[in-house]
Amino acid sequence: MKNFIIILCSILAVLLIVWLVVHFNRPIIPGAEYQASVRDEKIKIYDVDDLEKQAAVIIPVGGFGYIRGGAETEQTMERNESAFDMVDIYPRVLMGVAEPDLRTSILGTDIALPVIVAPAAAHGLAHISAEAGTARGVAESGTIMSVSNYASSTLAEIAQAGQGAPQWFQLYLSKDDEFNKKIIKQAEKLGYRAIILTVDAPVGGNRTSDARNDFKFPLELPNVAKKSIKTKGQGINTIFSAAQNELTPYDVMRVKAMTKLPVIVKGIQHPDDADVAIWAGADAIWVSNHGGRQLDGAPSSFEVLPEIAKRVNKRVPIIFDSGIRRGQHVFKAIASGADVVAIGRPVIYALALGGSQGVVSLFDYLKADLARVMILAGAYNVEDIKQIKLRPRCDFYSSH
């Protein structure tokens, strides 16, 4: 009888574990402090905004707060999305557009659509496959994966998962110059095609959700573990302390001297800074306010894009991020001067909800959504979008 009870209890325990995995989509690991999603399936997307609400249910509170949160009152983060409503797209008819061509290229790389993945830290907070899972989905979608210095997979693991698909490496300059040289050379050897030098984070923004949650990284960030000594159990500001925080044009030149790859300067929010970055040797600039995670009270990225594009005057390509959620946003950004746009948070939410196949689902949605907008606006290809004039609802755009 005793043995029967033991066996029955064991069976019930196994059934409970299976039920928890199925219903909550998280691995049940004895002693585990953090349990990310294990989903691996296509997801149905009706609206990209839905992904945040759905991901909030399955990503642990601290991790979700880190991924979603912006600086202080999050006004700038919210403006990143609402600013797109300041301009309209003229519907066009009798244009003969039925099957628009979404393909384009950036820095010599052909991609299936003008949307790439922005660098974002610690995808492992959302899914156990981490950046390797994202890379598989991005490769299948035919676009570029930007890999954060603070990724939770190694550069080698991400490159292997991408199986030769285009990837860029984002660098936060370390105070240790030998480390900078070493990791750049590692990225080159692994086949990364560009270096993204992030210059808008000499210090971490005041991210109140992390403070309220007392968030500490529950996993290692292996690509910076050596320079930061330890990353697991540390807050982002502690990890940032290993980064160089006195950046000048000379640092762009220094990185250029370390690599033969194109160097993209990310975090440009003022036309004068675009001039300086190009003068220092930037092969492309990336207009971004870090997704509203740095300086609250700053303008949205979209608000400054037209004036920056006017100053750049096609000298180098422009990549744009912050607030892209739908096809009309992609269209408006390109019509305002961007060559391609990048998305961050939605990719991580899609990863949490479906693993690599969730990422594929997101890009399938964006392809269909952008194609629909192009048909209704009479744009056959990406070059056509660049020639289109948007209709301003207010005067921020009319002077550019």
The secondary structure of 201-268 as a DSSP string is -SS----HHHHHHT---SS--TTTHHHHS--TT--HHHHHTTB-----HHHHHHHHHH-SS-EEEEEE
Instruction: Please identify which of the residues 127, 290, 329, 400 carries the catalytic annotation.
Output: 290
The secondary structure of 101-163 as a DSSP string is B--EEETTEEESSSEEEPP-S-GGGTBTTHHHHHHHHHHHHTSPEEE-TT-SS-HHHHHHHHT
DSSP annotation of 195 = E
CA distances to 82, 83, 254, 301 from 86, rounded to whole Å, are: 8, 5, 39, 13
DSSP annotation of 314 = T
> What gap in Å lies between CA 324 and CA 333, rounded to an integer?
9
Residue in 42, 44, 13 with CA at minimum distance from that of residue 30: 13
Number of C-beta neighbours around residue 135 at 10 A: 28
- Long-range Cβ contacts of 245-253 (<8 Å, 24+ apart): 245/202, 245/203, 246/202, 247/173, 247/199, 247/202, 249/276, 249/277, 249/279, 249/280, 250/280, 251/173, 251/197, 251/199, 252/197, 252/199, 252/277, 252/280, 252/281, 252/282, 253/280, 253/281
Concerning whether 290 is annotated as a catalytic residue, the answer is: yes
126: exposed, middle or buried (Cβ count in 10 Å: 0-12, 13-18, 19+) = buried
- Run of H or E including 366: helix 345-377
- Residues known to be catalytic: 290
